[in-house]
Structure 1
Amino acid sequence: MLNINATQVTSENFSKYGTYYNMKNGTKDVISTEGEGFSDVRTTHPLIDTVGNLGFTLGSPLPAKIHTMERHLHTQEALFCLSDPFVITVAKSDENDYPSTESAEAFIVRPGEVVVLKKGVWHDACHGLKDEVYYYWMALEREEIVNEWIVIVPEPVLVDI
């Protein structure tokens, strides 16, 4: 089994998997505005490239032994961190019909940060740093589209911080 430690997500280290937004400290793709009694930050472009469903998931704590991953060939998926950090584990999309152990990477996403996975990126459910964690996601989901969880080859990945 391959052991990997999660690293803090940045625009640079996440770029091969998708887009990173920092809604608190700003990135090049967000706009901040202020009004009486509020401040607001929004993305400069639509978050995903299709209409999307909103989901709410409870992820288990680290360390996590990851045996399977899923991918979406029909939609991007945005993951939102609101109050507690989470870890997203991803693996490269290539010509394989399975996620590979050697390409697995894990990223810590903190409150106010959003990551948007490109279509076809293998990923696991998110995990809390020490405890279970709730997080929101947005992707196009339809009953007729089955998301298969595929075994990581050649072996599972153990993710921790």
Structure 2
Amino acid sequence: MSAARSVSATIPDAESFAPYGRVHVLDAGEGPGLVLTEGDGWVDAYTRDPLTREVPSLGMTRAPGMPFASARMERHRNVEEALVPAGSPLVLAVAEPTGTAAPRAENVRAFVIPCGTVVVLDPGVWHDACRGLDGPTGYFWLASCVDSGSSPWTAIEGGPVAVRVDS
């Protein structure tokens, strides 16, 4: 399957990820929305507010690595979903929420989620499964699994979209 479009994944910050949700860089220490505590040889950071607005389930996905072409996405219209690398950085393809029945290739963006960072997807954000930056990996997700507004995996209009990470 040949990709019609290509996007380069970047590390998210609050501004670049704002159309899709929130970013918490836990291993950076103090930051907006984080609480930092320290003790004898350890440092702890946690989100001041609950990570998602719903009481989430915890799940884990095993995923292949790069390279990949994003061909299908899903969305959860009524719930937030948090994505957390389990041991190595992730690559995530997303598209902004739309009123249409499918994401569009020209709206697809990609992000590298480093270890120590969690992203929280807003309701309605189209997203593919994550892939491992350095090869197959696992990642945790937190989301309410009861969402009558979830869309099934849907083909990207004008896709697939090749996702790359430039050095």
Same fold (TM over 0.5): yes
Distance change in 2, residues 1:5/1:143 (3 Å) = closer
TM superposition score normalised by structure 2:
0.90
The count of corresponding residues between Structure 1 and Structure 2 is: 161
How far did residue 127 of structure 1 move?
0.5
TM superposition score normalised by structure 1:
0.94
Determine helix, strand or coil for the equivalent of 1:137: strand
1:57 aligns with 2:54: no
- What is the letter of the counterpart of residue 92 of structure 1? E
Q: Deviations over 1:91-139 (max 9, x none)?
A: 0112211111000000000010000000000000001113011110100
Unaligned runs of 5+ in 2: none
Q: Which residue of 2 is the match for residue 15 of structure 1?
A: 18
Q: Deviations over 1:8-54 (max 9, x none)?
A: 11111001100000001032111100124532111011000001000
Percent identity, please: 35
Unaligned runs of 5+ in 1: none
Between 80-89 and 45-54, the greater mean CA deviation after superposition: 80-89
- What is the letter of the counterpart of residue 18 of structure 1? G
Q: Which residue of 2 is the match for residue 141 of structure 1?
A: 145
1:6 aligns with 2:12: no
1:72 aligns with 2:76: yes
Calculate the aligned-residue CA RMSD, in Å: 1.6
Q: Tell me how far apart the structure 1 counterparts of residues 81 and 147 of structure 2 sit (CA, whole Å).
A: 16
The list of structure 1 runs, each at least 4 consecutive aligned residues, that deviate by more than 4 angstroms after superposition, is: 143-147
